[in-house]
Amino acid sequence: MKTLGAVLILGTLAVHPATAQTEHRELGPHEHGRGTLNIALEGNRVSMELEVPGMDIVGFEHAAKTDKDKTTLETAKEKLSTPLSLFKLPASAGCHVTEAKVEVETGAHDHGANEGGTDTSKSSKDEHHHSEFHNQYSLECTAPASITTIEFGYFYAFPGAERLDVNLITPKGQNKYEVTRANPILSLAGMI
C-alpha cells in the first residue's frame, strides 16, 4: 500500500503543489456527504484508498460509546471490509481482494481554543467531534483491462454518503471524477 500512497502523492503534487506542505494526516474540517476514493492500477494489482467522514458511514461524529453506536460502527466496518460489494468491478476482470484494512480515527477540534492549544474539556461549547474512516484495499485482477466501469454499491450501503471524488492513476494517465448517489456508475472505457 505504500506504493499507492507514493504514487498518489507524486501525482497529486504534480497537480496540486500546495499539498507538498502536508507531511502528516490530521483530522481537520471535512464536508459531510463527500469522500475521496483513490485508485491506482499497476499491472494486475488495483490499490484503493477510501477516506470519508464518519457521519457519512455511521451517522455520527463522536467516538462510539453506547451499545447502539458500537453496533453501528461494527456493522459499518464489516461493510467496509468487502470492497467488491461497495465498488463493483466487471466479473470479466477476475478481481479478488488480497487485503482490506479499515480504520476509523476520532478526535475533537475546539474552535474556541487559544491559538497555542486545544481545550479538550467536555464543557467546551465550541468543541466539534470529527471521525473519519481511512480504508485501504488491494485487489489482484486476472484481466484488469476489462475494468471498464465501476458500480458504486457504496451509496446503497451508506445512506449518508452523497458523493465521492475519485482519483484514478493508470498506465494511461491520471484522471479525476466525481461519482454521486444520483449517478453511481463510473465509466472507465479507454482509461485502463
Q: How would residue 165 be classed by pLDDT, with cut points 50, 70 and 90?
A: very high
In a domain, 120, yes or no: no
pLDDT at residue number 92: 98
What is the pTM assigned to this prediction?
0.76
Q: Does 14 have pLDDT greater than 50? A: no
In a domain, 117, yes or no: no
On whether the CB atoms of residues 64 and 45 are closer than 8 A, the answer is no
- Mean pLDDT for 20-49 is 74
pLDDT at residue number 106: 78
pLDDT at residue number 129: 63
Q: Buried b vs exposed e over 30-42: b needs ≥16 C-beta within 10 Å?
A: beebbbebbbbbe
Q: Does 125 have pLDDT greater than 60? A: no
In a domain, 56, yes or no: yes
Q: Which amino acid is at 84?
A: L
- Mean pLDDT for 88-112 is 84
Could you give the 3-state DSSP secondary structure of residue 161?
coil
Quick: pLDDT tens for 38-65.
999 999 999 999 999 999 999 988 888 8
In a domain, 27, yes or no: no
In a domain, 153, yes or no: yes
Structural domains of the chain, count = 1
**Boundaries of domain holding 77:** 41-106+127-192
pLDDT at residue number 54: 94
Distance CA 40, CA 48 (A): 7
pLDDT at residue number 175: 96
In a domain, 146, yes or no: yes
C-alpha cell at 147: 475494468
